[in-house]
Amino acid sequence: MSKPKVYIDGKEGTTGLQIYERLGGREDIELLLIDEDKRKDTEERKKFLNAADLVFLCLPDAAAVEAVSLIENPKTRIIDASTAHRTAEGWVYGFAELLPGQRQRIKFSSRVANPGCHATGFLSTVAPLIELGVLPRDYPLSCYSLTGYSGGGKKMIAEYEAPDRDPLLDSPAPYAIGLCHKHLPEMRQVAGLDFPPNFLPVLGDIYKGMATTVMLQNHLLKGTPNAQDIHDLLAGYYQDQKLVQVTPFGGAGPRLYTSQLAGKDSLEITVSGTQEQTLLTAQFDNLGKGASGAAVQNMNIMMGFEETAGLSL
């Protein structure tokens, strides 16, 4: 039986390179490699896109849309790591653990949109509570998300790692302060919210890692649960999941570190708080469960491989 052919369009970028490094040693697939001097040649790319059983698109949004238009082979399946198709009709959102039946939808889909990193953290806590009927769809949500600089791509990585870098980069930096971050549409649509959350990402002086936090006023929730109740609901929701876990109530200590799960492909949710208020924090690697790790997990599901093959738990 022949091995499935896999092609990475855009393997020179941060996410593409990470996927390439993860798949390079796999013996259960055939990785198609375009000549370096032809990687921007449209006709050559078209040949590879149509020769593959599965394609990873690791491209800017406009280029990802163009790549999809070049695919004429009905058997070619796509995982798009860009923002372009995350809320598009006909595309399945690639977060297997998030909603009932999502893993099966990914398995049988030919078009899967890999989630955004900040959206992954936000949705991991918010979407289940809406699905369970506890969090109203019109709740006025606020969220902040601490992230490593690798998510900004090669230019930002070079900026942070330059020997003569700006001393201001030593301190955390809120950004997208106009409240129009590109992950907001998927955060709203996938969760089923009536309104987008107030969302503030914060860039830190660490290479990779992410901690995304949502705070709730319990009296605005249906049934007025306390923080322990919220913990128990999420723990039950994610029971037996290999890549998403809920830690014991209150967490392991008084601090949550952004880089705690750097190098891992799993996600941990910590729930703490009181009778009146609840704090929800998702910790994961922005390059792992927040990007290339999720993409490889989705490939494994679509191809019928062990779901955690090639991943770091």
* Catalytic center residues: 117
Measure the CA–CA gap between 222 and 134, rounded to whole angstroms: 5
* Pairing assessment for the beta strands 77-80 and 54-57 based on DSSP bridges: parallel
Sheet holding 142-147, edge to edge: 173-174, 198-203, 142-147, 210-217, 277-284, 267-273, 244-246
Give yes or no for a contact between 76 and 55, defined as CB atoms under 8 angstroms apart.
yes
Measure the CA–CA gap between 199 and 188, rounded to whole angstroms: 11
- Token readout for 162 is 């330059």
